[in-house]
Amino acid sequence: MSDVDTLVTSWLTLPELAERLGSDVSRVRQLVRDRQVLAVRRGENNVLMVPEAFAQDGRVLKGLPGTLTLLADARYSDEEAMRWLFSPDDSLPGSPVDALVANRGTEVKRRAQALGF
C-alpha cells in the first residue's frame, strides 16, 4: 500500500465518477487522459480510481485542472501530484485539496507554481 492510499480515504471508480458528474465513462476517461483529474490503479483488480474529493457538486473540483497543470510543469509524476494534493500543509491549513474544496484555489495555485522554481 502506498502513502497515497493512506492520504486519500475515499475513492470512486470511473463509472461512479461519471455518475457523479452526470456524464458517461468515455467522457471521464477523456478527463483522465487530459489530466483534468488524476486516476490511479488500486485494489486486487487493478481498477482505475479517482479520489472522491475530485468531484464536487456534480463537477470536477474547481481549480483542480489548473493545479494539475502547474504540478506537471514542476515535473511532478501523477503519484507525486496526488501525494502533494492530499498531504497536510500547515500554511493553508489542511491539505491543498481541502483548500480547493473550500474555494481557496488561488493559494493552492500559488504554492504549486512555486514548486517549479
Q: Is 60 helix (H, G, I), strand (E, B) or coil?
A: strand
Report residue 88 as a C-alpha cell: 497536510
Structural domain harbouring 87? 3-114
Please give the pLDDT value at position 68.
Answer: 97
C-beta neighbour count of 79 within 10 angstroms = 13
Counting the structural domains of the chain, the total is 1
Mean pLDDT by 10 residues, the chain (117 residues): 82 97 97 95 90 96 97 93 94 93 95 85
